[in-house]
Structure 1
């Protein structure tokens, strides 16, 4: 289609070339003949529903005219919300993100639609149209007149959660960008935002930062709880969880950070605190669900912290627990391997038992966000490779190390990438030719990534 060709002229040409009468095409398309005539003459605008019917009548793919429609209705002329809303929604349904991007760039000149775009983004998010929703949130954030408004902060929160993915560098950048907006959210919504941000920093292994945010989470949850006189139903509250969950989760995060920093006694203390918090009298079904979760975490983490402190008698109990709670298998395997490497424990039987899970990330998909799961799986491969290498089983140790290196490169996990390279150099002379070749390919990938990043910086400059 030539750029100067309009939708109306295309319809008119199609009818003429097919030898149809206007009435016949009206019958096969389902659009009233009078309406069709007015559309072709240009005396009546084309509604989205009519455009879809005409497209179907012409045997064209869904959305065939959307790019032209967007240009004619919203770029070359002033947009009207009554027509803009169904257009954006249909583009989201058909995943025509380029059309959305072109149109909303034009809409930014008219701030009167900002509220409508925000509400539409919220609806798209609920329907799982995440990429389209993010485009609208970014448009609203860019056009928001009041920089301390709650709507701007909520847009930035949505953009943050939609930005999280496999690339650890991008996740860190998203977290740093979003953090200044947290206090501009309403008090209750801040709880979910702080929780998500603390989880992100924990997955990035910024333990001090995760601990600080967890402490803030617990303090704010306690304040809100103090002036909330009665229980708020799930349907009427702003928060995703009951308030006590945030207080308990605060202590869980702090226990996790302490464990990662080697402060096992502090980790035990925070574990006792969240176990006490969930001792609620007469809980409802939803509360009981979370009570059981925290009690389960408290039990297994108590075993773990004693295990880290060198109490090997806890190992069999810990393994038995995770066999009955498969959702905890991935973090538990990471913990077992770390304890084994720290305390020189023999866990060959455990490695043999869970070999299928260790060999496939997909078998460990239960629970946790994808971001946290990827970080845990990389840690598992690294700890397993260290276990084998320090015991002189170099072939399998280096094989696992290359698997870890490959996964770290794929997720841009810079910390584990460096760790893998350092560890390989220590055992380089014991590596087979196959392992050397694999290592060279992965190093080339790392080099390529940083060259691209460097070029991007020059382009921006």
Structure 2
């Protein structure tokens, strides 16, 4: 994309497009859109540096946030997309890019704070990628990180349970350690945390199924179904239905009633 076109873009609209693509789990679109945002930031930064070097007035660009944010956010979203595609090496490469944004000149106070926020996110997300790629030697350090940073506990436990399912690990003791804090996960209402909570519940259902705890698996599958229905995510709803059918031999009367009640609610909305 030519610099003349890039400079006409509104980066804050691109940020919104990236957030929407993430909610829709359109990872290829995220990668493409993140590349556009990065190219915008790079174009504006190079133009500023050129004008400074020539002693010319620096062109002003009207953005809601400092330029460093768009660099960091473009790499952050690329890393998330690669992680979801299980391209963990590529995800780590992008994490390293937003782990240190101090190379930018004249960040200023707000820019320094933004760079520090991305440095923190990089630390958290690097743990996630290492755990998901099977490097369990990072589990103890990640557990301590979650204890020190409880705001990361929901995506963190979701990551650990997903890895436990993928690599057939026993994490019962770890789940018990965080039982009190995780009991409040259902209180979240914002879209990002609801997405993390769905992943946590779904993988917890798979984890209990693998351990032979069918009723626990059914309970978490029901919770996953409710969340998928609430978010109107048809793909997740279908995955949960398939899992429920695989577990239904251990279903109690109470679970059967809850299941049929949810299906009736879905049918009522369709009608």
2:74 alignment partner in structure 1: 250
- Alpha-carbon distance, 1:360 to partner: 3.0
Distance 2:86 2:8 in 1: 33
In the TM superposition, residue 206 of structure 1 has moved relative to its aligned partner by 1.1
Pick closer, same or farther for the CA change 1:220–1:280 going to 2, 3 Å: closer
Distance in structure 2 (CA, Å) of the matches to 1:337 and 1:419: 17
Supply the distance in 1 between the matched residues of 2:27 and 2:20 (Cα, whole angstroms): 10
SS at match of 1:201: helix
Is 1:208 the counterpart of 2:28? The answer is yes
Distance 1:421 1:362, change over 3 A: closer
Partner of 1:87 in structure 2? none
Counterpart CA distance in 2 for 1:272 and 1:250 is 13
Instruction: Provide the rounded CA distance (Å) in 1 between the counterparts of 2:186 and 2:257.
Output: 26
**Residue number in structure 1 paired with 2:92:** 268
Distance 1:363 1:285 in 2: 35
- The separation in 1 between residues aligned to 2:63 and 2:32, in whole angstroms, is 21
Structure number with the bigger relative contact order (C-alpha 8 A, sep ≥ 6) is 2
Cα displacement string for residues 176-198 of structure 1 (whole angstroms, at most 9, x for unaligned residues): xxxxxxxx99736x211111111
- Long gaps (5+) in structure 2: 53-59
Count of matched residue pairs: 259
Is 2:50 the counterpart of 1:226?
A: no
**Equivalent residue in structure 1 for 2:215, among 395, 403, 410:** 395
Gaps of 5+ in 1: 1-183, 452-461
In structure 1, what is the equivalent of residue 120 of structure 2? Answer: 296
Give the conservation status (yes or no) of the 8 Å contact 1:255–1:268.
yes
Q: Secondary structure at the match of 1:319?
A: helix
Inter-CA distance 394–319: structure 2 relative to 1 (3 Å threshold): same
Q: Give the secondary-structure state (helix, strand or coil) at the position aligned to 2:226.
A: helix
Match of 1:285 among 99, 102, 109: 109
Paired with 1:352 and 1:238, the residues of 2 have a C-alpha distance of 50
- CA distance in 2 between counterparts of 1:410 and 1:245 reads 32
The corresponding residue for 1:198 is 18
Question: What is the TM-score normalised by the length of structure 2?
Answer: 0.87
TM-score by length of 1: 0.53
Larger radius of gyration: 1
Offset, 1:220:
1.2
CA distance in 1, matches of 2:39, 2:105: 22
2:144 — aligned with what?
A: 320
Q: Give distance in 1, aligned partners of 2:161 and 2:27.
A: 20
Query: Over the residues paired in the alignment, what is the CA RMSD in angstroms?
Result: 2.4
2:262 to 439, 442, 445: 442
